[in-house]
């Protein structure tokens, strides 16, 4: 703390340098701040060491065009039409979309892979064979225009191309006759909608949140002049955080769209909270008669010390997020850590610098004069807006004296434990609909798509099948092995809840479905052998002959071969493609990947191949990437939480020289935070508030359709909510330690600490809850859930943990609070030692 006093001296003497440095940093960063949203990335990177990581390495070598491939679909619908393909407007729309794609391909070579549609399919060989069109719905009222491109490092280029496609779809919709609708659906389109929603959250919804947070601060500080300090801190810290994070997003890491939103809401909360801690202590010191310099030094030693501990705790918690395997979650932690650091730094430096630079506005003498005038006014005599009045001393007595010291924790636990029990029924949701705006046109198109077409069209799954040794795929042995793989998968995945059919499989070892009969079972081919058996019923119709066979079936097979056999490495592997009939980002994700991998393991174990190639048969696709990320995340979660808690509690113990104080804090944190997640599960998984007006998609407290509690929400918030819960406990404990060192008994110090910090912590908790409550205004359901957990967790800490549990626990077993420090014996006249704090006196007895 003496070091903080010396640091304050340097800030006071060099206040002009501090102000100029912050002004320059904010001015340089501000123009780049909002550009951060534009550099969020659309990627699903597998975790190193997983099966998907190995599969992607093979894909990068054998089928690079299938890695980071994005499929976008345009739905052309007509509710009043009997056959959409016969409509003149549909044909005209398709022709314009073809012309646009041709133009895009000319201007952006090697980016747009292909584009196709129902009308083009009608003139193809599969259509002449009687294969049903994959681009026409069963009702004949919706047809698809499909295009695909590789995102990867060309994301900005592809997003620009997508913008042109989106504009063309918008123009066609404006030209469409009554009854027609033209919509765009696809992963990248949904991602760009999320970016748009994020930008709106930052640009518009913060305007709603920020005034309420500043209003709470103003009601506590009671000085419009002093409000200029937190506003300056907020502007400097937030613009600097967003601007400095931009180079990381451009050159170092792929950031999540949630990162900018989290940084903004966290920046608002902490910049104002830390200003509240600093200014209330500065006003307390100034009104007690200290000069401006002494008041600033005391503020820095006490509140500055607490701000540093708080920021360190939160940074440790956010750094813990970096150890999750998902790059998206990790970047949220990285951006949030930077935001916390700059919020603390701005308050610790700008508060002394601004106060010294503008003594006529913020000087101690002016504050004392204003306080004197206020106390002489009728309002001042009736109430002290910054004091604690009679409320907090009474609360302090109830929670620290018998029987309240025993009864209140029991009552709290009686209410919290049922909520904890709900957490036992937690079931994660993988629904993709939870991660993009629910009311956007693209979202509506996505729901229409999965209701009328196989939902897996946007994200096909692949099985990589290598050839044995140095052989190629052109052998009967390879074809038999591939057919065995396909039959094993169909047998495992044809039942509930997957319902895969033979027509959902595509492989060079399988006959095109139109030539193979009903499609109830996969129809396997030999490569060269003319043997007819149950597995290969076609006799002389072999793959070798089909590749040279004229006519429609030969042309169809050659297209299939070119698509599925690797030509880059001499045809040493092929892929079996699955178009799953269920939504690949629904809760069917987990059982599907488990069942498919189990089938592959069983199929490769059944055959005795003479090398290790059978073990290289791997499932690959966005499904498996997400599955492995979730699996590794859950495996690491206990270690990350335990490591974070250990680091945080070690820091608290070192900062207060009290080894067992963190243990007592842990007791007060575990059950309430488990209750927070239990309530979140009750709300979003069980739909506790679905009866509220507005319904899913319009009310942030309702369980969204197609999903419940998103799997990443508790993972991301788990360590963070621990840090936030400890934040205000640290502030309370710091004042208790301060009073105890001054000679107060432990019960008196606890009551005095709660009385003096009660109004400030309550205001800070409300500010934090309001800031994170801004996420509830987001159109993205997963953001709503994260906002609810964070805001409700802060309120739980403010009004339950800090107010009831912590004071009671600190009162019991008092010797454990400060060990191994030796505290002074309580003085007989301890009440007189703080006579300048009148609200404290009733709380000391």
CATH of the domain at 187: 3.30.70.600
Residue 579 lies in a domain: yes
- How far CA 363 is from CA of 51, 291, 366, 706, in Å, comes to 64, 8, 5, 58
**Phi, psi (rounded to 5 degrees) for 224:** -70, -30
State pLDDT tens for residues 295-330: 999 999 999 999 999 999 999 999 998 888 876 778
Q: How many independent structural domains does the chain possess?
A: 4
Q: Does residue 28 sit in the same domain as residue 82?
A: no
User: 494: Cβ–Cβ under 8 A, 6 or more apart, which residues?
Assistant: 500, 501
Q: Give which of 800, 111, 62, 833 is closest to 419, Cα–Cα.
A: 800
Report CA Rg, the chain. Answer: 32
Residue 132 lies in a domain: yes
DSSP H helical ranges for 539-697: 543-546, 552-564, 589-606, 622-656, 661-684
Query: For residues 575 and 464, is the Cβ–Cβ distance under 8 A?
Result: yes
Which has the higher per-residue pLDDT, 785 or 374?
A: 785
- Specify the 3-state DSSP secondary structure of 76: strand
**pLDDT at site 517:** 42
Average pLDDT in the 368-376 region? 69
Domain final residue, candidates 192, 214, 233: 192
- Specify the 3-state DSSP secondary structure of 72: strand
In the beta sheet, which residues pair with residue 185?
73
Cα gap 259→648, rounded to integer Å: 23
Q: Does residue 181 sit in the same domain as residue 301?
A: no
Average pLDDT in the 362-369 region? 83
In the beta sheet, which residues pair with residue 70?
149
Q: Does residue 184 sit in the same domain as residue 281?
A: no
**pLDDT at site 694:** 65
**pLDDT at site 236:** 96
CATH number, domain containing residue 762:
1.20.1640.10
Burial, 5: exposed, middle or buried (Cβ in 10 Å; 0-12, 13-18, 19+)? middle
Cα gap 448→393, rounded to integer Å: 60
Q: Phi/psi zone of residue 462: left (φ > 0), alpha (ψ -120 to 50 degrees), beta? A: beta
Cα gap 721→727, rounded to integer Å: 10
Q: Does residue 647 sit in the same domain as residue 788?
A: yes
Cα gap 558→677, rounded to integer Å: 55
Q: Give which of 71, 72, 68 is closest to 151, Cα–Cα.
A: 68
Report for 55-69, 282-296, 361-375, 514-528: range of highest mean pLDDT: 282-296
Other Cβ atoms closer than 10 A to 404: 18
**pLDDT at site 375:** 62
Query: For residues 700 and 717, is the Cβ–Cβ distance under 8 A?
Result: no
**pLDDT at site 644:** 92
DSSP H helical ranges for 774-802: 781-796
Query: Residues in the chain, how many?
Result: 845
Q: Does residue 771 sit in the same domain as residue 679?
A: yes
**pLDDT at site 124:** 87
Low-confidence winner among 17-26, 244-253, 607-616, 620-629 (lowest mean pLDDT): 607-616
Low-confidence winner among 133-147, 510-524, 577-591, 613-627 (lowest mean pLDDT): 510-524
DSSP H helical ranges for 86-154: 88-107, 118-122, 125-128
Domain final residue, candidates 601, 620, 639: 620
Burial, 212: exposed, middle or buried (Cβ in 10 Å; 0-12, 13-18, 19+)? middle
pLDDT band at 518 (very low <50, low <70, confident <90, very high): very low
Q: Which two tokens mark 174?
A: 């404006």
Cα gap 682→353, rounded to integer Å: 48
Q: Does residue 613 sit in the same domain as residue 645?
A: no
**pLDDT at site 450:** 86
pLDDT band at 366 (very low <50, low <70, confident <90, very high): confident
Low-confidence winner among 264-273, 550-559, 800-809 (lowest mean pLDDT): 550-559
State pLDDT tens for residues 544-593: 988 988 888 888 889 889 989 998 778 889 999 998 888 777 778 889 99
Query: For residues 616 and 464, is the Cβ–Cβ distance under 8 A?
Result: yes
Q: How far from chain centre, in Å, is Cα 162? A: 24
- Specify the 3-state DSSP secondary structure of 506: strand
**pLDDT at site 761:** 92
User: 506: Cβ–Cβ under 8 A, 6 or more apart, which residues?
Assistant: 560, 563, 564, 576, 577, 578, 579
Inform me whether the pLDDT recorded for 524 exceeds 50. Answer: yes
**pLDDT at site 361:** 86
Q: Phi/psi zone of residue 695: left (φ > 0), alpha (ψ -120 to 50 degrees), beta? A: left
Cα gap 378→819, rounded to integer Å: 47
Q: Which two tokens mark 406?
A: 């025993």
* C-alpha dihedral sign at 476, 480, 481, 485: positive
Average pLDDT in the 417-436 region? 87
Inform me whether the pLDDT recorded for 807 exceeds 60. Answer: yes
Query: For residues 611 and 468, is the Cβ–Cβ distance under 8 A?
Result: yes
**pLDDT at site 760:** 92
Cα gap 664→810, rounded to integer Å: 8
Q: Name the percent of the chain lying above pLDDT 90.
A: 41
Inform me whether the pLDDT recorded for 838 exceeds 60. Answer: no
Q: Does residue 407 sit in the same domain as residue 340?
A: no
Question: At what angle are helices 391-400 and 746-773 packed, to 10 degrees?
Answer: 120
Cα gap 225→438, rounded to integer Å: 43
Find the domain containing 169 and state its range: 63-192
Q: How far from chain centre, in Å, is Cα 782? A: 7
Inform me whether the pLDDT recorded for 198 exceeds 90. Answer: no
Cα gap 151→166, rounded to integer Å: 17
- Specify the 3-state DSSP secondary structure of 50: coil
Inform me whether the pLDDT recorded for 757 exceeds 60. Answer: yes
Q: Give which of 189, 260, 432 is closest to 778, Cα–Cα.
A: 260
pLDDT band at 835 (very low <50, low <70, confident <90, very high): very low
**pLDDT at site 695:** 59
Q: How far from chain centre, in Å, is Cα 843? A: 43
- How far CA 462 is from CA of 508, 570, 618, in Å, comes to 13, 20, 8
Residue 200 lies in a domain: no
Average pLDDT in the 451-461 region? 83
Q: Give which of 463, 503, 455 is closest to 481, Cα–Cα.
A: 463
Cis peptide, bond prior to residue 33, ω within 30 of zero: no
Q: Which two tokens mark 88?
A: 């003149």
Residue 236 lies in a domain: yes
pTM of the predicted model as reported, rounded to 2 decimal places: 0.87
In the beta sheet, which residues pair with residue 255?
40
Average pLDDT, whole number, for the chain?
86
**pLDDT at site 615:** 56
Domain final residue, candidates 620, 652, 672: 620
Q: Does residue 575 sit in the same domain as residue 687?
A: no
pLDDT band at 503 (very low <50, low <70, confident <90, very high): confident
Residue 465 lies in a domain: yes
Report for 60-64, 162-166, 215-219, 837-841: range of highest mean pLDDT: 162-166
**Phi, psi (rounded to 5 degrees) for 181:** -140, 140
Q: Does residue 541 sit in the same domain as residue 513?
A: yes
Q: Does residue 106 sit in the same domain as residue 227?
A: no
User: 682: Cβ–Cβ under 8 A, 6 or more apart, which residues?
Assistant: 419, 422, 688
Residue 730 lies in a domain: yes
**pLDDT at site 116:** 93
**pLDDT at site 840:** 47
State pLDDT tens for residues 81-132: 888 988 999 999 999 999 999 999 999 988 888 899 999 999 888 888 788 8
State pLDDT tens for residues 725-756: 888 889 999 999 999 998 899 999 999 999 99
- Under DSSP, the state recorded for 657 is T
Q: Does residue 732 sit in the same domain as residue 635?
A: yes
pLDDT band at 828 (very low <50, low <70, confident <90, very high): low
Q: Give which of 771, 266, 195 is closest to 440, Cα–Cα.
A: 195
* DSSP run (H or E) holding 845: none
Which has the higher per-residue pLDDT, 639 or 705?
A: 639
Residue 161 lies in a domain: yes
- Specify the 3-state DSSP secondary structure of 813: coil
Which has the higher per-residue pLDDT, 445 or 258?
A: 445
Q: Which residue has the tokens 């026409």?
A: 136
Q: Vertex 244, ends 239 and 248: CA angle to 5°?
A: 140
Cα gap 821→172, rounded to integer Å: 76
Residue 85 lies in a domain: yes
Q: Does residue 563 sit in the same domain as residue 688?
A: no
- Specify the 3-state DSSP secondary structure of 1: coil
Average pLDDT in the 54-59 region? 88
Cα gap 277→761, rounded to integer Å: 8
Question: At what angle are helices 364-376 and 258-287 packed, to 10 degrees?
Answer: 80
């Amino acid at each position: 703390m003496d070091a903080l006093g010396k640091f304050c001296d340097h800030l006071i003497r060099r206040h002009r340098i501090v102000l100029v440095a912050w002004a320059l940093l904010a001015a340089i960063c501000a123009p780049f701040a909002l550009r951060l949203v534009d550099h969020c990335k659309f990627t699903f990177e597998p975790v190193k060491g997983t099966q998907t990581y190995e599969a992607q390495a093979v894909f990068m070598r054998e089928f690079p065009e299938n890695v980071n491939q994005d499929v976008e679909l345009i739905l052309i619908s007509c509710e009043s039409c009997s056959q959409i393909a016969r409509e003149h407007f549909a044909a005209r729309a398709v022709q314009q979309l073809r012309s646009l794609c041709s133009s895009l391909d000319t201007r952006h070579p090697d980016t747009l892979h292909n584009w196709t549609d129902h009308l083009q399919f009608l003139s193809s060989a599969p259509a002449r064979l009687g294969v049903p069109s994959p681009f026409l719905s069963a009702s004949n009222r919706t047809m698809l225009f499909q295009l695909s491109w590789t995102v990867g490092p060309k994301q900005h280029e592809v997003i620009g191309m997508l913008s042109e496609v989106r504009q063309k779809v918008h123009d066609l919709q404006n030209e469409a006759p009554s009854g027609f609708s033209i919509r765009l659906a696809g992963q990248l389109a949904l991602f760009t909608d999320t970016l748009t929603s994020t930008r709106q959250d930052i640009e518009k919804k913060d305007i709603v949140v920020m005034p309420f947070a500043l209003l709470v601060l103003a009601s506590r500080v009671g000085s419009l002049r002093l409000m200029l300090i937190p506003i300056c801190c907020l502007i400097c810290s937030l613009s600097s955080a967003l601007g400095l994070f931009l180079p990381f997003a451009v050159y170092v890491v792929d950031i999540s769209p949630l990162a900018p939103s989290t940084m903004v809401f966290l920046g608002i909360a902490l910049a104002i909270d830390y200003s509240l801690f600093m200014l209330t202590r500065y006003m307390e010191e100034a009104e007690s008669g200290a000069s401006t310099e002494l008041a600033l030094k005391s503020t820095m030693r006490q509140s500055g010390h607490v701000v540093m501990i708080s920021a360190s705790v939160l940074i440790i918690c956010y750094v813990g997020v970096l150890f999750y395997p998902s790059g998206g979650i990790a970047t949220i932690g990285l951006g949030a850590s930077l935001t916390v650091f700059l919020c603390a730094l701005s308050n610790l430096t700008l508060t002394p610098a601004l106060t010294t630079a503008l003594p006529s506005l913020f000087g101690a003498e002016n504050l004392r004069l204003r306080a004197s005038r206020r106390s002489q006014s009728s309002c001042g005599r009736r109430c002290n807006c910054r004091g604690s009045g009679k409320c907090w001393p009474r609360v302090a007595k109830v929670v620290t004296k018998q029987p309240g010291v025993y009864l209140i924790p029991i009552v709290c636990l009686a209410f919290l434990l049922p909520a904890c029990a709900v957490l036992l029924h937690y079931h994660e949701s993988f629904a993709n609909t939870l991660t993009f705006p629910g009311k956007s046109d693209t979202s509506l198109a996505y729901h229409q798509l999965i209701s009328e077409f196989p939902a897996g069209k946007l994200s096909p799954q692949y099985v990589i099948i290598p050839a044995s040794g140095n052989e190629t795929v052109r052998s009967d042995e390879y074809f038999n092995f591939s057919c065995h793989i396909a039959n094993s998968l169909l047998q495992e995945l044809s039942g509930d809840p997957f319902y895969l059919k033979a027509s959902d499989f595509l492989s060079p070892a399988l006959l095109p479905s139109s030539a193979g009969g009903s499609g109830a079972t996969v129809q396997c081919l030999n490569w060269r052998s003319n043997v007819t058996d149950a597995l290969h019923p076609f006799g002389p119709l072999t793959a070798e002959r089909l590749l040279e066979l004229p006519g429609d079936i030969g042309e169809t097979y050659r297209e299939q071969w070119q698509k599925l056999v690797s030509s880059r490495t001499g045809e040493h592997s092929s892929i079996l493609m699955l178009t799953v009939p269920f939504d690949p980002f629904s809760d069917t994700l987990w059982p599907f990947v488990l069942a498919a991998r189990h089938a592959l393991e069983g199929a490769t174990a059944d055959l005795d191949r003479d090398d290790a190639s059978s073990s290289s048969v791997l499932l690959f696709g966005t499904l498996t990437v997400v599955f492995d990320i979730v699996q590794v995340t859950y495996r690491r979660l206990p270690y990350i939480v335990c490591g974070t808690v250990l680091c945080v509690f070690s820091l608290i113990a070192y900062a207060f020289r009290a080894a067992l104080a963190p243990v007592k804090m842990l007791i007060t944190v575990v059950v309430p935070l488990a209750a927070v997640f239990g309530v979140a599960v009750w709300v979003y998984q069980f739909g506790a508030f679905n009866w509220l007006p507005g319904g899913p998609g319009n009310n942030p407290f309702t369980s969204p359709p197609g999903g419940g509690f998103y799997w990443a929400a508790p993972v991301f918030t788990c360590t963070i909510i621990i840090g936030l819960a400890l934040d205000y406990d640290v502030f309370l404990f710091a004042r208790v330690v301060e009073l105890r060192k001054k000679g107060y008994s432990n019960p008196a110090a606890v009551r005095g600490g709660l009385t003096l910090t009660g109004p400030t912590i309550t205001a800070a908790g409300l500010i934090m809850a309001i800031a994170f409550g801004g996420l509830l205004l987001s159109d993205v359901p997963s953001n709503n859930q994260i906002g609810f957990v964070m805001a409700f967790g802060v309120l739980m800490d403010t009004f339950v943990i800090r107010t009831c549990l912590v004071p009671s626990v600190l009162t019991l077993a008092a010797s454990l609070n400060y060990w191994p420090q030796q505290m002074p014996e309580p003085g007989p006249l301890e009440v007189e030692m703080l006579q300048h704090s009148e609200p404290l006196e009733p709380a000391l007895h």
